Structures are given as structure tokens and as C-alpha cells.
Structure 1
């Protein structure tokens, strides 16, 4: 395996300055890095493995990324963006229907990315930077959910006694950890039973009745 050049660029070119070919190479490196991380794990992954998986020279990696940590950070951000993105729901959906649709969309995204989610959660336990990154993305979800809960409280659909932020945090933690134990740790469970139970518990926590469905 070729060794790293003596002088590798310390500051990769900004993404916006890349040509179409450069962007394609950068994307290929990101995809290759994900495959390497998923097969080798974060600690054992090496830059030369990523370059080899992408079919480029070792030094080419450093034109686009500063380090293994840099490319992992990019992958983590891409992952969180996909997993936590929400489709605009139809305006005629009730709060209960929106909550269920949101839970199911999150489940589908989590399942597609279960291997990377497992690695990100692992790295966040010993790396302060990635723990902060994970916290920031989780906070975005909590902020969005708590805003919806406040709105539903104003409409008299959700119990006014609930603290919107605490309720959002608790619901998010419940869904997140259940999916982690099921999809990452391999806990045996029936798919529909798990999803239906999560939906019912979230609806119950907010005091939404069957009429809102």
C-alpha cells in the first residue's frame, strides 16, 4: 500500500470551489469512507483504506479532507440530515396522524442507516466533538417537536400541564433507544408491534385521543 506523501495539503479546497469532477471525487470518497467505517469501525479505519476503496491515490484524500475525523464528521452530518429530515405533511392531517407519520419516517431512515448510526453513537461516547455534534442534531429534533407540542397546546389538543421541551426530550429518547436496541443491538421484535407500540405511547404521553387520528 502506498504511503502518504511527505507534504499533504493541510487545508482542503472548499466544496464550493470544486469542479464537477472534484465534487464527484469528494462524493466517492465520502461513500467509500462510509463503507470502510461500517466494515472496520471508526477506530480501525485508516485513510489509506478509504482512498483504496474509492479507487484514488492516498494523497488525493487530503485534497478534500483533513483527516479521518474530518470525513467522519461530514458523514455524520449527512447522516443526521437524512435521518432527521421531515417531509411536509398534508395540511389536513391531525396531530396524531402527523406524529405517527413522523415516527414512521424516522424509523425508515434509521433502518437504512443503522450501521452508521451504531458507529456514530459509539464514537460519541468517547469523542467530545462528535458527542457535541450528536447533541446539536438531537436538539434540533427536540426544538421542532416541542414547538409542535406548544402549538397543539394552544389549540387545546394536548394537555397544558405538559412541559413541551421535557415531553419532546422524553419521546425522542424513547423512540431513539427503542430503535437502537432493535435495529443495532438486535433485540428480537415484531416490526409492526414495535412501531404501533411507539405510536401509542407517544400519543398517550401527549394525551391525544383516538379521535385525532
Structure 2
């Protein structure tokens, strides 16, 4: 594939310029109306240059979506060792909120494309599964420590909480529903913490 070719330093810069231009065009025009010509004009490169790096509009969209999901599900944002489970939930929710805020316009396009494109729908599922898997692992660990009820299905709980947060952020950041950010995040935290039966550390 074109994007897998070994690139020179200049080639890397050109490819990155195309990716940035493509993201801007997709956010402005949507996936269906965007054309390769729009992308190359925004990137200020020749039309044919695009095909040195990408096979199609779908290929550059795939790259953008993959980077976006990696950004949004990046591990390592949790507090240092010693933080309580409730603190970890709060930190995770706020990190995800910040990532969603950075990517809200593109998320709206990706969610739209996923309704009619199986490849992007599968990518969305795969990245969500990675994030949910980490949450389920944490819940099982807390169950082992006696902090979460042993009878709770950790995987289903992780799926349900992820769906709640995802949909709430979509409505807020894509649809523009609501304005009191701190109250909104505090409420998400409280719902997740209480759903798991975690006690706040004072």
C-alpha cells in the first residue's frame, strides 16, 4: 500500500501535511462531500502527490480515525500508585473528556461514517473494546480487593459505564447539550463510583 512505503524526512513531512489537511477538510465538509482535490489544495501539494502516500480518501480517513482513537484511549493517564479507585475513576473520566473535547468535531464525522461503513464501525468497536477491557480489568482487581461486589459482571459493568460516558460526551460536545462542565463531570463521576459501590476516600 502507498502509505507503507519507506519515506524520506521530506516525505514524512508531506504525509503529515496531507493528514492535517484531510482532517481539516473532513471536519469542515464531512466525509461524503470531501474530495482528494480539496485535501491537496489545503495541503498545497500536487493532486498526484496524495497517491504517493495514500490509496484513497478512505485510507487517509482511516489513519486519522486510528490516531484519534489511540489518543482517546491512551493508557497511562491514571494517578500514581496509592490513588483510590474513586480517584482513578475521576481522573479517567476527566482525561477522556479532555481527549473528546480535542477531537469532538472529528468524532462527529467518524460516528456518522461508522453508520454506513463496516470497516470504520469495526475500528470503532476494536478501540472501544481495548478501553472497556482495561476498565473491566480494574473492576476485577477491585473485586479481588473487596472494594466492588463480587457478583457484579465486570465486563458488562465496564461496557455500561463506557456507553454512559460516551453518549453523555457526544450529546454535550457534539450536540452542544449543556454548559456547566464541572457539574456535568462531577455527576458522571458520582454515577460511576456509586454504580460500582466504591467508597470515596476522604
2:49 corresponds to 1:55? no
Query: 1:11-160 residue pairs with structure 2 within 5 A?
Result: 11-14=1-4, 17-86=6-75, 87-160=77-150
- Aligned twin of 1:197: 187
Structure having the higher Rg: 1
> Offset at 1:88?
4.8
- What TM-score comes out, normalization by structure 1 length? 0.92
> What is the distance in 2 between the residues matched to 1:192 and 1:173?
20
> What is the distance in 2 between the residues matched to 1:153 and 1:91?
18
> What is the distance in 1 between the residues matched to 2:193 and 2:25?
39
Aligned CA distance change for structure 1 residues 136 and 188 (closer, same or farther; 3 Å): same
Q: CA RMSD in A?
A: 1.0
- Aligned twin of 2:175: 185
* Number of residue equivalences: 201
Say which structure is richer in helix: 2
> What is the distance in 1 between the residues matched to 2:79 and 2:151?
27
Gaps in structure 1 of 5+ consecutive residues? 1-10
> What is the distance in 2 between the residues matched to 1:123 and 1:13?
21
> Offset at 1:14?
1.8
Gaps in structure 2 of 5+ consecutive residues? none
